């Protein structure tokens, strides 16, 4: 990507697949190269480009339907880089926050040999742990289970309400906190839950249209390299924590930013 941004093509926008990179230092190099060349780096964790998730972010971040989020529990399938990047990006997207302290566990197990026919030996595997965000939110992440029994689920508990999301089962539920009681309430302007069959199919076309709008100067970057680095540094910190037996502070210091997690 760095070669592309400095090439004779002089691109205005670089569109990358998720995860942004294999190491935090590589991601930071990509971000810096685009800033130097005055090019936009757009990373494609595809859930961000679905209409329902964008509206949900407005409700959580701008309209404050949850108040101050205190706790989040999440679950999705292995492997962390290949699959669970989606979950972690959804987490940081809806919280609009960055990890501050991480404690991790790595299983060493993966399913890519069966599901992809992958032959290369890589680091990517199931894992998870505890994350304290820079806004104080406490998060549990479980990405250890096989695809067949997993559900992409997130539960948010805040001072003004709570939210349950299950994208595999197509169930989103919201409760507002009223006089000490949680009262189930429809999510404004969201009809039904996010589903793979309907919403995921629109993600790539939506992203392409957004890129076109950015090239015309009609839209801002919805998924920057800086934001994509937030989910990557959590994954890298899980690995570092597991193999060192301690917690990891973010931002990562050198040489930890250079730790590379290979995937397919």
Domains, in order of start, for the chain: 48-198 (3.30.360.10)
Mean pLDDT by 10 residues, the chain (264 residues): 90 95 97 96 94 96 98 97 96 97 97 83 96 98 95 97 95 97 97 90 94 95 96 98 98 96 92
Task: Output the six-digit token pair for 47.
Answer: 């859930």
- Phi, psi angle pair for 77, to nearest 5°: -80, 160
pLDDT score for 263:
93
pLDDT score for 119:
80
- Sheet arrangement for strand 127-133: 181-184, 171-178, 161-166, 153-158, 69-77, 138-145, 127-133, 99-106, 248-249
pLDDT score for 34:
97
pLDDT score for 108:
95
Number of C-beta neighbours around residue 166 at 10 A: 17
pLDDT score for 202:
92
pLDDT score for 23:
98
pLDDT score for 113:
82
pLDDT score for 235:
98
Give, in order, the Cα–Cα distances in Å from 136 to each of 131, 202, 234: 10, 34, 15
């Amino acid at each position: 990507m760095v070669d592309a941004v400095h090439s004779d093509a002089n691109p205005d926008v670089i569109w990358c697949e998720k995860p942004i990179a294999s190491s935090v230092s590589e991601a930071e190099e990509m971000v810096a190269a685009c800033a130097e060349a005055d090019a936009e780096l757009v990373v494609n964790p595809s859930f961000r480009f679905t209409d329902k998730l964008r509206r949900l972010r407005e409700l959580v971040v701008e309209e404050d339907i949850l108040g101050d989020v205190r706790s989040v529990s999440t679950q999705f399938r292995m492997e962390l880089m290949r699959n669970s990047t989606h979950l972690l990006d959804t987490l940081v997207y809806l919280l609009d926050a960055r990890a501050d302290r991480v404690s991790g566990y790595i299983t060493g197990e993966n399913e890519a040999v069966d599901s992809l026919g992958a032959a290369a030996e890589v680091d990517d595997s199931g894992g998870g742990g505890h994350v304290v965000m820079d806004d104080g939110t406490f998060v549990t992440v479980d990405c250890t289970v096989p695809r067949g029994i997993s559900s992409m689920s997130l539960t948010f508990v805040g001072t003004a309400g709570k939210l349950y999301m299950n994208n595999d089962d197509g169930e989103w539920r919201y409760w507002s906190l009223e006089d000490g009681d949680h009262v189930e309430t429809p999510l404004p302007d969201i009809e039904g839950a996010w589903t793979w069959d309907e919403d995921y199919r629109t993600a790539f076309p939506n992203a392409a249209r957004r890129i076109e709008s950015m090239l015309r100067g009609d839209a801002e970057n919805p998924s920057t390299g800086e934001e994509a680095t937030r989910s990557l540094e959590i994954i890298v910190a899980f690995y570092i924590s597991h193999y060192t037996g301690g917690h990891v502070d973010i931002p990562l210091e050198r040489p930890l930013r250079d730790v590379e997690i290979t995937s397919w």
